[in-house]
Amino acid sequence: MPQLAIDGGDRTRLTPFPERREIGKEELRELVDVIWSQRLNRVGGDKVEAFERGFAELYGTRHAIASTSGTASIHVALGAINPDPGSEIITTGISDIGTIIPILYQNCIPIFADLEPHTYSMDPDDLERKITRKTKAVIAIHLFGLVGNMEEIRQICDDHHLYLIEDACQAHLAERKGKLAGTFGHFGCFSLQQSKQITCGDGGITITSDDKLASRARLFADKAWPREGGWGERGYLFLAMNYRMTELQGAVALAQLRKARRIVSRRRALGMRLSRLLRKVPGVNPPEIPGDCKHSFWLYPMTIDQDVLGVGPEQFAKAISAEGIPASFGYIRQPLYMFPILREKRTYGTSHCPFECPLHGRDVEYREGMCPNTEKILRSIITLPIRECFTENDIGDMARGITKVAEYYAGRKT
């Protein structure tokens, strides 16, 4: 049995995995247009508007509102629904903090529903248990690129007259039953950050088919400045942010948009190939993808069977990494509700607002054990990168490294 690299043996992979993205001549041409136009701001430019039109068309929605980040895309959606201070917004505990920041900046209270153990998606039953008279909206997160049980979640929201916002920042062109992530709810929110399936470095975009919500969302992203009929009057209709995407971002995003289907298709093919290669490896569990879903593989999540291998996921991830296969254990390591911003209510100065807001009127405690599936997932998950620039040989090396480690530990266990 070959000695593991972590114990001094030869590595499976000697060269780094490619990090290059599909960014090149097309993006450069669009950027040159912007530079020669001298219009770097979206007001008076045409790249951001073209990107918005194209994104809405790709998703079959009536409206798309570009912004500065995935965080901003969620804030735009929340600003559009305009919840009262002290309202509760239900979401889940594994994500970037960018899902939570907009809730707090709208002076609302994050409430956490648990996850389904295999899809890493919001558990509809726990969602229903967490709804109170203060609940205004639900933010469902499509983690790693897989869409969960959105039909049931949407029905629950409709039954309780709640807005449904989809955090699809990791799930560009992911599908469930032929329907795209971001099109099940009142809003779909996407990130264009460097690591996402399509990128302009940083950026976001929010989609909806509701004309009224779209009008307010567009205003919210632009200081509530009505610009119809040219520059418009500085009406500043309500309290809002400046989340305007620049023409430089829009130019890159527009070029990326034309490649979106190809990029996601490539990631999907590579991710599914890795799953096929790992299917019979002892103690290794590839991601479970329901037959009616199409994963878009922002990351590749996997778990192991500790009874078979005799080691925990953290040690297994370290052993894979030593083989030259980049692997991370735990993703964010602890649920969002265990970070100081929530557990210790570190928000505005020393005030603990909005948690002490009298308009909310009840004490919310964030503690370990409140979402057991969420915590179990973070104690067991291992993630690997999937990039469109990977080759089949790269995926083969990943599988060989994982297989080597798994067979070593499984053999040692027996």
pLDDT tens per residue across span 349-358: 999 999 998 9
pLDDT tops 80 at residue 232: no
Contact 387, 394 (CB under 8 A): no
Query: In terms of C-beta density within 10 A (0-12 exposed, 13-18 middle, 19 or more buried), how is residue 262 classed?
Result: exposed
Strands 179-180 and 175-176: antiparallel
- What would the mean pLDDT of 222-240 be, rounded to a whole number? 82
What's the confidence (pLDDT) of residue 299?
98
Strands 135-141 and 88-92: parallel
Q: Kindly report the CATH number assigned to the domain that includes residue 44.
A: 3.40.640.10
Quick check: is 358 in a domain?
A: no
What's the confidence (pLDDT) of residue 414?
65
Please, which pLDDT band fits residue 361 given cuts at 50, 70 and 90?
Answer: confident
Phi-psi label, residue 117: left if phi above 0, alpha if psi -120 to 50, beta otherwise = alpha
What's the confidence (pLDDT) of residue 32?
98
What element of type H or E holds 383? strand 382-385
Return the residue matching tokens 């969420």. 374
What's the confidence (pLDDT) of residue 227?
86
- What would the mean pLDDT of 314-329 be, rounded to a whole number? 98
Kindly tell me the sign of the dihedral angle through the C-alpha atoms of 191, 382, 267, 18.
positive
Quick check: is 69 in a domain?
A: yes
- What would the mean pLDDT of 214-223 be, rounded to a whole number? 97
354: preceding bond cis by omega (within 30 degrees): yes
Quick check: is 245 in a domain?
A: yes
Quick check: is 129 in a domain?
A: yes
- What would the mean pLDDT of 258-263 be, rounded to a whole number? 98
Show the tokens assigned to 332: 């964010």
pLDDT digits (tens, 9 = 90+) for 270-302: 999 999 999 999 999 999 999 999 999 999 999
Question: CA-CA distance, 326 to 234, in Å (whole number)?
Answer: 51
Quick check: is 176 in a domain?
A: yes
pLDDT tops 90 at residue 412: no
Quick check: is 134 in a domain?
A: yes
Give the pTM.
0.96
Return the residue matching tokens 């008279």. 133
Quick check: is 204 in a domain?
A: yes
pLDDT digits (tens, 9 = 90+) for 388-409: 999 999 999 999 999 999 999 9
Question: CA-CA distance, 29 to 256, in Å (whole number)?
Answer: 12
pLDDT digits (tens, 9 = 90+) for 39-88: 999 999 999 999 999 999 999 999 999 999 999 999 999 999 999 999 99
Question: CA-CA distance, 400 to 277, in Å (whole number)?
Answer: 9
**Domain total in the chain:** 1
Q: Phi and psi of 31, rounded to 5°?
A: -65, -40
Question: CA-CA distance, 76 to 261, in Å (whole number)?
Answer: 25
For the sheet with 63-67, list strands across it: 63-67, 204-208, 187-191, 163-167, 135-141, 88-92, 109-113
Question: CA-CA distance, 383 to 358, in Å (whole number)?
Answer: 42
Percent of the chain residues past pLDDT 90, beyond the cut:
93
Question: CA-CA distance, 90 to 335, in Å (whole number)?
Answer: 14
Q: What is the DSSP string of 344-364?
A: S---STTS-TTTT-TTT-S--
What's the confidence (pLDDT) of residue 231?
59
Please, which pLDDT band fits residue 10 given cuts at 50, 70 and 90?
Answer: very high
Please, which pLDDT band fits residue 230 given cuts at 50, 70 and 90?
Answer: low
Please, which pLDDT band fits residue 235 given cuts at 50, 70 and 90?
Answer: confident
**Mean of the per-residue pLDDT values for the chain?**
96
Question: CA-CA distance, 52 to 355, in Å (whole number)?
Answer: 36
pLDDT digits (tens, 9 = 90+) for 110-158: 999 999 999 999 999 999 999 999 999 999 999 999 999 999 999 999 9
What's the confidence (pLDDT) of residue 20?
87
Quick check: is 107 in a domain?
A: yes
Kindly tell me the sign of the dihedral angle through the C-alpha atoms of 241, 247, 248, 249.
positive
Please give the residue range of the domain that contains residue 145: 25-258
